[in-house]
C-alpha cells in the first residue's frame, strides 16, 4: 500500500545521469496451453528511451492477456517483439543485428513470428527491413494496439493519448502526460515518427497517479518528449506537476525543452518535498549560431539563465543535459562555445552524441558536414569536460548522509542501486527492497555514481 510522502529533501546532491527508474517485470504469466498442448511464449526487447520502455510495458500486458508466457531469450520465444529506437543510426544498426539473429532462429523453427514496433517501425525504412528480414508485423508508435489483434485478442482502439496504464502495481511507474513533439529540430526524427504533440487531460493523469499510488507505486515519472510543453487551456506543466506532487510520494519528469521551462517550475522543484531535485534539460549546443541552425528556439543566454534559476531554487540539485557534436556547419568556434557553456553550467551529467544524419530531417541535407575524426575529437573533449566536472561535484557529496530510495535490489555484489532526493545514483550495500528508503553516508564517488556505506537502519 501507499505511504505518506517522505518529507526530507534537506540533503540535496547532484546526479550522475542515470536513466529514470525502469521497471521490467520478469515474472512468467500463467499462460493457457495452445491447441498442441504447448505453452505460448513471447519475448519483448526494448531499445531506446523511457517512452519505449513504457510502450513495452503496455505491449507486455497485451501478450499476457493473450495467454503468452514471457521469456527472456529469443530461442525460447514463439513471438519476438522488438520495440525500437530510430533517433540515431547506431540504434538502427543494433536492431539490424537482432533481426539477423532472429532470421536465423526463424529458419531453425525456434522463433515463429517477429514483430517490429516503435520509432523504427514508424519510419519509411521499416518497409525495407520488413522485406529483407521477413518480419511478420510492423507497428509504428501510433498503432501499437494492433499487436492485440495480432496475438488473438479482440481488436481494440486507442487514441494517440495513451490512456492505458502501463506499470500498475510496481514500486515505480511511468505516466505519459504527452506524446509527440511540435518542434522541428533540424536533426530530429521524433516529429516524423511520433507525430505532433497531444497532451493528456490533467484529470486523466491525476486519476492514473492516484490509482498507481493506491496499488503500491511509490515513484512516478512523468514522461513525454517535451513534458514542459504540456498544456490544457490556461493550465501549464507546472500546474500539473504540482497536482501530481500532491498525490505521489516521489515524482520526477523527463524530458524538457528550454523554451518551455518556466521559472516557477524550477522553483517548484525546490519547494516541493516530493519532487526529485534533478533537472534534465537538453541544450544541444552552446553556440547561438548552431542553436539557430538547429531551430531550437532559444539562445545560450536563455539557457544559462534557466540554469541560474534552477541552481538558486535547488542549490543541491543535479543537472543533466544532451549535447550534439558535429552537426553540419559546426565550426571550431561553435565547439569552443559548447565547451564554455559546459564549464559555466557545471553539469552533473550529460548524454553526448555525435551527429547522425537521419533521412527526412533538414540536417541530413545541410552542407558543411563535419569529418568523422573532427567529430570524434569534439565528442571526447565535451565528454571529458563533463566527466571531470561531474566527478568533482560528486566528490563534494562524500561525508553527507542521504536518504536513499532503493530502485533496484542488490545483485551478486550485495549492492542495491538507489537514488538520493537530488537524483544522484548511489550504490549502497543493503538488502532493502526496491521502493523502500534507507539512510546512509556517502563514502566515495565516481564520475557517474556515488558509493554509500552500509545504512544505519532501514527507514521504512
Ligand atoms: N544525431 C545525434 N543526436 C541526436 N539526438 C536526436 N537526434 C539526433 C541525431 N540525428 C539526440 C539529442 C536529443 C537526444 C534524445 O538524442 O541530443 O536530445
Ligand atoms: Fe526532437 Fe527537438 Fe522535439 Fe526534442 S524538441 S523531440 S530534439 S524535435
Residue with cell 520465444: 77
Q: Return the pLDDT at 210.
A: 96
Q: Which residues of the chain have a pLDDT value below 70? A: 1-38, 154-169, 457-460
To 5 degrees, how large is the angle CA 27–CA 29–CA 32?
160
Task: Tell whether ligand 1 has an atom less than 6 A from the beta carbon of residue 256.
Answer: no
- Residue ID of nearest Cα to ligand 2 atom 4: 225
Residue with cell 532503493: 406
- Residue ID of nearest Cα to ligand 2 atom 1: 188
pLDDT tens figures, 212-265: 999 999 999 999 999 999 999 999 999 999 999 999 999 999 999 999 999 999
Residue with cell 558536414: 369
116 to each of 91, 104, 124, how far by Cα in Å?
A: 14, 16, 13
C-alpha–C-alpha distance, residues 113 and 66, integer Å: 15
**From 85, 186, 188, mutation site for ligand 1 pocket: most ligand atoms within 8 A of C-beta:** 188
**Phi, psi for residue 437 in degrees, rounded to 5:** -115, 145
Q: Return the pLDDT at 50.
A: 86
Burial of 25 (0-12, 13-18, 19+ CB in 10 A): middle
- Residue ID of nearest Cα to ligand 2 atom 5: 183
Task: Tell whether ligand 2 has an atom less than 6 A from the beta carbon of residue 188.
Answer: yes
Q: Check if the beta carbon of residue 161 is closer than 8 Å to that of residue 193.
A: no
- Spatial CA neighbour of 54 closest among 183, 141, 156: 141
Task: Tell whether ligand 2 has an atom less than 6 A from the beta carbon of residue 226.
Answer: yes
Task: Tell whether ligand 1 has an atom less than 6 A from the beta carbon of residue 362.
Answer: no
> 238: part of which helix (H) or strand (E)?
helix 237-247
Amino acid at each position: 500500500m501507499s505511504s505518506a510522502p517522505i518529507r526530507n529533501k534537506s540533503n540535496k546532491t547532484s546526479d550522475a545521469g542515470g536513466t529514470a527508474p525502469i521497471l521490467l517485470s520478469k515474472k512468467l504469466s500463467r499462460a493457457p496451453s495452445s491447441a498442441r498442448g504447448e505453452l505460448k511464449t513471447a519475448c519483448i526487447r526494448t531499445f531506446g528511451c523511457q517512452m519505449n520502455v513504457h510502450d513495452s510495458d503496455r505491449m507486455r500486458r497485451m501478450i499476457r492477456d493473450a495467454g503468452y508466457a514471457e521469456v527472456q531469450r529469443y530461442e525460447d520465444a514463439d513471438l519476438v517483439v522488438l520495440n525500437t529506437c530510430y533517433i540515431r543510426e547506431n540504434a538502427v544498426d543494433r536492431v539490424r543485428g537482432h533481426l539477423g539473429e532472429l532470421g536465423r532462429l526463424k529458419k531453425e523453427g525456434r522463433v515463429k513470428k517477429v514483430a517490429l514496433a516503435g520509432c523504427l517501425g514508424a519510419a519509411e525504412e521499416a518497409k525495407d527491413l520488413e522485406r529483407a528480414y521477413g518480419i511478420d508485423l510492423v507497428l509504428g508508435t501510433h498503432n501499437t494496439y494492433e499487436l492485440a489483434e495480432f496475438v488473438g485478442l479482440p481488436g481494440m482502439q486507442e487514441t494517440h493519448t495513451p490512456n492505458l496504464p502501463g506499470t500498475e502495481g510496481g514500486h515505480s511507474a511511468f505516466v505519459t502526460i504527452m506524446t509527440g513533439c511540435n518542434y522541428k529540430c533540424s536533426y530530429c526524427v521524433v516529429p516524423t515518427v511520433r507525430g505532433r504533440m497531444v497532451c493528456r487531460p490533467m484529470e486523466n493523469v491525476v486519476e492514473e497517479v492516484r490509482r498507481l499510488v493506491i496499488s503500491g507505486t511509490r515513484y512516478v515519472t512523468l514522461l513525454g518528449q517535451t513534458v514542459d510543453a504540456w498544456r490544457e487551456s490556461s493550465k501549464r506543466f507546472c500546474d500539473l506537476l504540482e497536482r501530481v506532487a500532491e498525490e505521489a510520494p516521489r515524482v520526477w519528469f523527463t524530458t524538457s525543452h528550454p523554451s518551455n521551462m518556466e521559472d516557477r517550475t524550477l522553483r517548484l522543484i525546490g519547494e516541493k518535498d516530493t519532487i526529485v531535485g534533478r533537472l534534465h534539460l537538453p541544450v544541444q549546443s552552446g553556440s547561438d549560431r548552431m542553436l539557430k541552425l538547429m531551430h531550437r528556439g532559444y539562445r545560450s543566454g536563455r539557457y544559462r539563465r534557466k540554469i541560474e534559476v534552477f541552481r538558486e531554487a535547488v542549490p543541491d540539485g543535479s543537472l543533466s543535459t544532451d549535447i550534439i557534436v558535429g552537426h553540419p556547419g559546426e565550426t571550431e568556434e561553435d565547439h569552443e562555445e559548447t565547451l564554455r557553456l559546459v564549464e559555466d553550467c557545471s553539469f552533473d551529467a550529460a548524454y553526448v552524441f555525435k551527429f547522425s544524419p537521419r533521412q527526412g530531417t533538414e540536417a541530413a541535407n545541410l552542407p558543411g558536414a563535419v569529418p568523422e575524426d573532427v567529430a570524434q575529437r569534439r565528442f571526447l573533449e565535451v565528454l571529458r569536460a563533463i566527466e571531470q566536472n561531474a566527478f568533482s561535484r560528486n566528490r563534494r557529496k562524500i561525508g553527507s548522509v542521504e536518504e536513499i530510495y532503493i530502485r533496484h535490489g542488490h545483485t551478486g555484489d550485495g549492492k542495491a542501486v538507489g537514488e538520493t532526493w537530488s537524483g544522484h545514483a548511489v550504490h549502497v550495500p543493503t538488502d532493502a527492497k526496491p521502493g523502500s528508503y534507507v539512510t546512509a553516508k556517502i563514502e566515495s564517488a565516481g564520475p557517474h555514481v556515488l558509493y554509500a556505506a552500509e545504512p544505519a537502519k532501514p527507514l521504512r
